[in-house]
Amino acid sequence: MSSGRAQLSLIHQALAERAEARLSDAALRLLVEQTGEAVLLMDATGRVLAFNSEAGSRFRIPPPERIESHGNLPGCVWVRLDEGGGVLAVSPLSRALAGEVVRDERWGLRRPDGTRVVLEGSVFPVGQEPGAKPAGVLLRAREVMEEPRLDAMRAARLLAEAGALLAAELENEERVEPLLRLLVPTLADAGVFFLGPGGEAVRAAAAVHAEPERHVLLVDMLRRYPPDPLDPRGLPALFLTGRTERVAELSEAHVEALTRDAEHARLFGLLGVTRYLGVPLVARGRVIGALALFRSEGAPAFGDEEERVAEELARRAALSLDNARLLREAREAVRLRDEFLGIASHELKTPLTPLHLKVQLLQKQVDVLAAHGKPVSAERVSETLDVVQRQVRKLTSLVDNLLDVSRITAGRLKLELEEMDLASVAAEILYRFAPSAAQLHCSLEMHAPVPVLGRWDRLRLEQVVTNLLSNALKYGAGQPVRLTVEADGRTARLTVEDGGIGISAQDLPRIFERFERAVSDRHYGGLGLGLYITRQIVEAFGGTVRATSALGQGSTFVLELPRGDIPDEWLSVPGAPEPVP
Ligand code: ADP
C-alpha cells in the first residue's frame, strides 16, 4: 500500500512537473513574443527552435525551419554598413556559433524583397560547455533608422572641399579626378566623369571605384569600351536628355542600355554596382558632360538629399570647366592674334624694303645727274616704277585680305550676283598668272571644254580662283599646275591640282581656318588668310571647298558652287546661250 501511495505521489509529482514545464514553456514563448525585439533561437545544426513574429516582420520571411551553415536566413543576406556595403564575410550567427559573444552591434540586412534594413542587437552562444562549441545561439535584435550616408554636415564639407578644388588653378583633366576622389567613397562606391561638349568627342575623363580590384576593372572596361557619342549605348542617356537619372536597382534592361554588348555587360556586372545616380554637367544651356555615380549591391539607394548634393556639385564643376575652357580659348585667341600681328607686320614690311631701296636709289641718281645738269633716263624711271608698282600691288593685296577678314568677322561680306561663265573667269585669271608661272618655270594647264554658266559675284569669284592658283604656284615646287572647270547639273566644279610640297593629313583639317599655316614663315611668306577667306566666300555662295593632299605628293583643291537661280536651258551644255553682258 505504501508503495502504491509512493507511486501515486511520484505520478502527481511528474504531472505537477509537466504542468510546470508547460507553464514555463508557455511563459517563455509569451516572453519571447512580447519582448518587442526580433528573437531567434537555433541549435548548432541550424534547426530553428524559436522565431517570434517580430523576427518575421524584420526579416520579412515566415518562420524558417533551418538556417544554413553560413548563417543567412532564407532569402536574406547580411551586408556591411560601411561605404562599400558589400556582403558580410562572416554572419553574426556564425560568429556566435563559433563561441563569440556578439554584443550590441549593427548589421545591414538585405531581405528577399530587395529592401534593406539596419538591425542592432546581440547574438549569444547558448548551452556552452567549457572547451566545447555552443549547443545553439540566441539572436535578439531591433530595427534602427539607417543614418544617411551623407548627412548635412558631410554634404556641406564635401561641397566646400569641391569648391576649393575647383578654385585651384588646375587644368581640366586633372581637375575632375580629385573631385571624383572626394565623392568616392563618401557619396558613392564608384564614379565616372564623362566630358565632351557637343562637337568634341565624349570621353571618360576620370573613373574611380572604392575597391582597388574593381577600380582596375572599371578603368579597363572604359578603356575597352570608350564612350562613343555616335552610339548612345554605353553612355548615360542624360547626355541626350540633360536630366538627372536615379535608379534604385539597376535592372537587366538598365544594364543593357548602359553597355554595348554581352562582354561589356559582363564587365559591368563584375563591378558589383546596382544603385545609379547620373547628373548632367550643364554650362550655358549645353550638356558638357555627365557625372555617373554608382553604389554597390547592398548599399542604400541614393536619396533626394544626395541627389541634390550631386547636382550642386555637377553645377559647380560644369561652371568651372566651362570657365577653364573659355579661358583656354581666350588665351589661344590672344596667342594667335599676337602671332598674327608678328607675321602681318613682317609681311607688310617685306614689300616696303625693296620699294624704299629702289626709290632711294632713283633719288640718288636724280640728284647726281641733276648736279651734272643731265636728265634722268626714262628707262631708269620706268624700271623703278615697275618695282614700286609690284610692291604696292603686294601691299594692297595684303591690306585687302586683312580688310576682308574684318568684314567677314563682322558679317559684312556682301555678294553682288550676276550671270557669268566660270570657265572664262578661270581662264582670265590663269592668263594673269602666266608671267609669274614663267618666272617659276612652271607650266599652267587648263581643261574647260564647255562654258559653265552660273550666277556669282565676279570679284569674289576671281578672288577665290586667284587664291587657289597663287597657292598652287607658291607651294607647287615648280611642277605643272592644272586647272579644270566642269559642270555637274546645278553644281559647277573647279579643281586646281599641283604637284608640289603637299600637306600632311594632320595639317589638312586646319588650313581653312583663320591664320592657320602648315609651313614655316621662314620658307614661305603668308598670313594664313587666303584659304580662310576662300572658304568664307565659297560658303557665302552656298558651296564647298575641300583639299586632298599628302606630304610631298602635291595637292588638289576642289571647289563646288551651286550655279544659282539659272534657267534650265543653261544646264544643258554645250549650246548654252552666252550670258547677258
Ligand atoms: P598662306 O599661303 O598665306 O599661308 P593660305 O590660307 O592661303 O595662307 O594657306 C594656308 C596654308 O595652307 C599655307 O600656309 C600652306 O601651308 C597650306 N597650303 C595652301 N595651299 C597649298 C598647296 N597648294 N600646297 C601645299 N600647301 C598649301
Give this prediction's pTM. Answer: 0.54
Q: Answer positive or negative: Cα dihedral of 225, 226, 231, 236.
A: positive
The radius of gyration of the chain from alpha carbons, rounded to an integer in Å, stands at 43
* Angle, vertex CA 37, rays to CA 32 and CA 42, nearest 5: 60
**Residue 555, ligand 1, Cβ within 6 A:** yes
C-alpha cell at 542: 552656298
* Ligand 1 pocket, residue 531 CB under 6 Å: yes
Which range among 81-85, 245-249, 405-409, 419-423 has the greatest average pLDDT? 419-423
With a CB cutoff of 8 Å and minimum separation 6, the contacts of 517 are 511, 524, 526, 528
Residue nearest to atom 8 of ligand 1 (CA): 528
Q: With a 6 A CB cut-off, is 517 part of the ligand 1 pocket?
A: yes
Q: Which three cell numbers stand for residue 483?
A: 586647272
Mean pLDDT (the chain, rounded) = 87
C-alpha of residue 420 to centroid of ligand 1, in Å? 28
Cα-based distances in Å from 10 to 13, 18, 20, 133, 391: 5, 12, 15, 36, 138
pLDDT at 580: 46
Rounded-to-integer distance, Cα 562 and Cα 417, Å? 12
In terms of Cα–Cα distance, which of 106, 110, 96, 90 is closest to 139? 96
Q: Which three cell numbers stand for residue 258?
A: 548602359
CA nearest to 348, candidates 386, 402, 408: 402
C-alpha 529 – ligand 1 centre gap (Å): 9
To 10 degrees, what angle do helices 304-371 and 152-167 make?
A: 10
Q: What's residue 398's pLDDT?
A: 85
3-state secondary structure labels for all residues of 435-464: HHHHHCCCCEEEECCCCCEEEEEHHHHHHH
Beta bridge partners of 123: 102, 139
Is residue 511 within 6 Å of ligand 1 at its C-beta?
yes
Name the more confident of 405 and 84.
405
What is the whole-number distance in angstroms between the Cα of residue 528 and the centre of ligand 1?
7
> Ligand 1 center to residue 150 CA distance, Å?
58
Residue 304 pLDDT > 60, yes or no? yes
Q: Which three cell numbers stand for residue 371?
A: 648736279
Q: Give the E-state strand segments of 361-459 in sequence order.
A: 417-421, 444-447, 453-457
Is it the case that residue 573 has pLDDT exceeding 70? no
Q: How far is the CA of 530 from the centre of ligand 1 (A)?
A: 8
Confidence (pLDDT) at 127: 87
Expressed in angstroms and rounded, the spacing between residue 467 Cα and the centre of ligand 1 is 9
Residues 6 or more apart whose Cβ sits within 8 Å of residue 109: 58, 59, 76, 77, 78, 79, 116, 117, 118, 119
Alpha-carbon span 483 to 425, nearest angstrom: 12
Which sign, positive or negative, has the C-alpha torsion 43, 46, 47, 48?
A: positive
Query: Which element (helix H / strand E) includes 239?
Result: helix 238-241
Concatenating the DSSP letter of every residue in 450-503 gives S--EEEEEHHHHHHHHHHHHHHHHHSSTT--EEEEEEEETTEEEEEEEE-SS--
In short, whether 280's Cβ falls inside 6 Å of ligand 1 is: no
Interstrand relation of 136-144 and 190-195 (parallel, antiparallel or unpaired): unpaired
Lowest mean pLDDT among 197-211, 437-451, 457-471: 197-211
pLDDT single digits (tens) 104-146: 998 988 888 777 788 999 999 998 887 788 999 999 999 887 6
User: At residue 454, does pLDDT exceed 70?
Assistant: yes
Cα distance between residue 343 and residue 480, in whole Å: 29
Nearest atom within ligand 1 for CA of residue 496? 23
- Classify burial at 449, counting beta carbons within 10 Å of its beta carbon; exposed 0-12, middle 13-18, buried 19 or more: exposed
What pLDDT, on the 0 to 100 scale, is given for residue 562?
A: 96
- Strand boundaries in 71-229, DSSP class E: 77-79, 102-110, 116-126, 136-144, 190-195, 203-209
Check pocket membership of 500 for ligand 1, CB cut-off 6 A.
Answer: yes
Residue of 531, 553, 555, 557 to mutate, ligand 1, most atoms within 8 A of C-beta: 531
Atom of ligand 1 nearest to the CA of 526: 3
pLDDT at 581 over 50: no
- Checking if the pLDDT of 318 tops 80, the result is yes
More confident residue, 508 or 286: 508
* pLDDT confidence of residue 218: 95
Q: For residues 190 and 204, what is the distance between their CA atoms, to the nearest angstrom?
A: 13
Question: Which of 394-398, 458-462, 493-497 tops mean pLDDT?
Answer: 493-497
Q: Tell whether the model's pLDDT for residue 1 goes beyond 70.
A: no
Residues 435, 288: Cα–Cα separation, whole Å: 54
The best mutation among 471, 474, 496, 514 to test binding of ligand 1, ranked by most ligand atoms within 8 Å of the C-beta, falls on 471
**118, 80 in Cβ contact below 8 A?**
no
**At which residue does the C-alpha cell 572604359 appear?**
222
Q: What are phi and psi of 553, to 5 degrees?
A: -115, 15
Residue 288: per-residue pLDDT: 87
Q: Which residue has the cell 578603368?
A: 219
> Is the shortest distance between the CB of 496 and ligand 1 below 6 Å?
no
Band of pLDDT at residue 353, cut at 50, 70 and 90: confident
Nearest to 147 by CA among 299, 272, 273, 292: 299
Choice from 463, 503, 520, 536 to test ligand 1 binding pocket (greatest atom count within 8 A of CB):
503
Q: What is the rounded distance in angstroms from the CA atom of residue 426 to the CA atom of residue 560?
A: 14
| pLDDT value at 229 more than 70 | no
Q: Which position has the higher pLDDT, 332 or 538?
A: 538
Q: Using most ligand atoms within 8 A of CB, pick from 474, 511, 559 the residue to mutate for ligand 1.
A: 511
CA of 554 from ligand 1 middle (Å) equals: 12
Q: Which atom of ligand 1 is nearest to the CA of 529?
A: 6
DSSP 376: P
With a 6 Å cutoff on the Cβ, whether 402 touches ligand 1 is: no
Convert the pLDDT of each residue in 26-36 to its tens digit. Answer: 888 888 888 88
CA distances from 493 to 367, 448, 532 (A): 56, 10, 19
Supply the residue whose CA is at minimum distance from atom 16 of ligand 1: 518
Shortest-distance atom of ligand 1 to CA 532: 6
Which cell goes with 438?
614663267
Count of CB atoms situated within 10 Å of the CB of 572: 9
Residues 236-255, mean pLDDT to the nearest whole number: 85
What confidence score (pLDDT) does residue 85 get?
64
Task: Give me the amino acid identity at 83.
Answer: E
Which residue's CA lies nearest to atom 4 of ligand 1? 528
* CA proximity to 547, closest of 537, 529, 534, 563: 534
Is the pLDDT assigned to residue 498 strictly greater than 80? yes
Whether the pLDDT of residue 100 is over 80: the answer is yes
Instruction: State the virtual CA torsion across 449, 451, 453, 456 in degrees, nearest 10.
Output: 80
Q: Cell numbers at residue 88, please?
A: 558580410
pLDDT at 27: 87
Please state the separation of Cα 154 from the chain's center in Å: 29
Confidence of residue 43 (pLDDT cuts 50, 70, 90): very high
pLDDT at position 172: 57
**Does pLDDT of 547 surpass 60?**
yes
Mean pLDDT, rounded, for 251-264: 89
Q: Above 60 in pLDDT, residue 575?
A: no
The predicted model gives 468-480 an average pLDDT of 95
197 compared with 60, residue with greater pLDDT:
60
Enclosing H/E stretch for 520: none
d(CA 511, ligand 1 centre) in Å: 7
Indicate whether residue 316 lines ligand 1 (CB < 6 A).
no
pLDDT computed for residue 310 by the predictor: 92
Residue 577 has pLDDT above 50, yes or no: no
